[in-house]
Amino acid sequence: MIRNIGARVIDGVWRLGFASRFLFLLLRYSGQSFLRLHLTLREIYFSGVLSLLIILVSGLFVGLVLGLQGYETLQRYGSSEALGVLVALSLTRELGPVVAGLLFASRAGSAVTAEIGLMKTTEQLKAMDMMAVNPIARVAAPRFWGGVISMPLLAALFSAMGILGGWLIGVAFIGVDDGAFWSQMQAAVDIRYDIVNGVIKSFVFGVAVSLIAVFEGYDCEPTAEGVSRAITRTVVSSALAILALDFVLTSFMFRG
C-alpha cells in the first residue's frame, strides 16, 4: 500500500520533470514552427475555430442564467440596476476564463491528445524523426501555440457573449433600465484590474491546457488503450490545473 503510494509519487515527479523538459524543448523549437506560420494557423483553426460554436453557445447560456439568478438576488435589495456589474464582473474575472478553459480542454485539448497519441501509436512520430524532422518542432509546437493563441480569444468571446446574454435577460426581457445596466457596469469594471487580468488568466490557462494536451499525447503509451487513457488524463489534469491556477492567480490579482 505505502509502496504503491510511493511509486505513484515518484512516477508523478518523474512525469513532472519530463513535462518541464518537454516544455523547454517546445519553446526551443518554437522558432522553427513560427517560421512556417501555416502550420500554426492550421492548429488555430482546429483548436480555435472548431471550438467556436460550443464557446459561443455556452457563453450565451451562462450569461442568461447569470442574468436570471442575479436579478432574483439583486431585486431583493432593490438594486437590480447593478445587474450589469454582477454579470460583467463575474464573467470577466472568473467565469469567462475558467469555463472557456474547461470547455477548451475538453473540446480542443482532448482532440490534440488523441491526434498526437494516434500519430505515436502508428509510428508516425518515429517516422518523422527518421526523416530528420523533429516531431516536437513539426507536430507539438504548432499545436501548443495554436492553443495558446486561441484560448484568450475564446475566453473573450465567451465573456462578451455572456454579457450579451445577461443584457438579453435583464434589459430585453425583465426590463432593467438599459442606461443603468451599462453605465453601472462601466463605472465598476476597470480595464487593467478586471479585463486585462481576465485576459492574463485565460492566457495562462491556454498555456497550461495546451502543454498538458500536447504532452499527454506525446507521452502516451502507444496502444489504443494508452491513447484513450491519455485523453482522459488530459481532460482531468487540465480541469484541475485550471481550477488550481485560477485560485493562485485570483489570490495574486484581486487582493485588497
Candidates 134, 168, 177, 222; binder of other proteins (CB under 8 A) is 134
CA pseudo-torsion sign 73, 78, 84, 89? negative
Say how many C-beta atoms besides its own lie within 10 A of residue 201's C-beta.
Answer: 27
CA distance 241 to 24: 19
CA distance 209 to 215: 10
Query: Is 164 or 174 the residue whose CB approaches other proteins more closely?
Result: 164
Candidates 4, 76, 192, 251; binder of other proteins (CB under 8 A) is 192
Please, what is the minimum distance in Å from the beta carbon of residue 120 to other proteins? 10
User: Which residues touch 254 (CB under 8 Å, ≥6 apart)?
Assistant: 93, 193, 197
Within 171-190, the residues that bind other proteins by CB under 8 A are 182, 185-187, 189-190
CA distance 122 to 155: 34
Name which of 146, 104, 98, 118 is nearest 218 in CA terms.
118
Candidates 4, 35, 38, 251; binder of other proteins (CB under 8 A) is 38
**Residue 239 in contact with other proteins, rule: CB under 8 A:** no
Please, what is the minimum distance in Å from the beta carbon of residue 228 to other proteins? 17
Candidates 72, 123, 221, 225; binder of other proteins (CB under 8 A) is 123
Q: Which stretch binds other proteins (CB under 8 A): 9-17, 61-69, 194-202, 238-246?
A: 194-202
Q: Which three cell numbers stand for residue 199?
A: 485576459
Contact string (CB under 8 A) for other proteins, positions 198-217, x = contact: xx------------------
Placement of cell 475564446 in the chain? 154
Candidates 23, 52, 65, 168; binder of other proteins (CB under 8 A) is 52
Candidates 57, 133, 224, 244; binder of other proteins (CB under 8 A) is 133
DSSP calls for 73-102: HHHHTT-GGGHHHHHHHIIIIIIHHHHHHH
- Contact residues for other proteins, defined by CB under 8 A: 38, 41-42, 44-45, 48-49, 52, 88, 92, 115, 118-119, 122-124, 126-134, 138, 150, 152-154, 156-157, 159-161, 163, 182, 185-187, 189-195, 198-199, 256
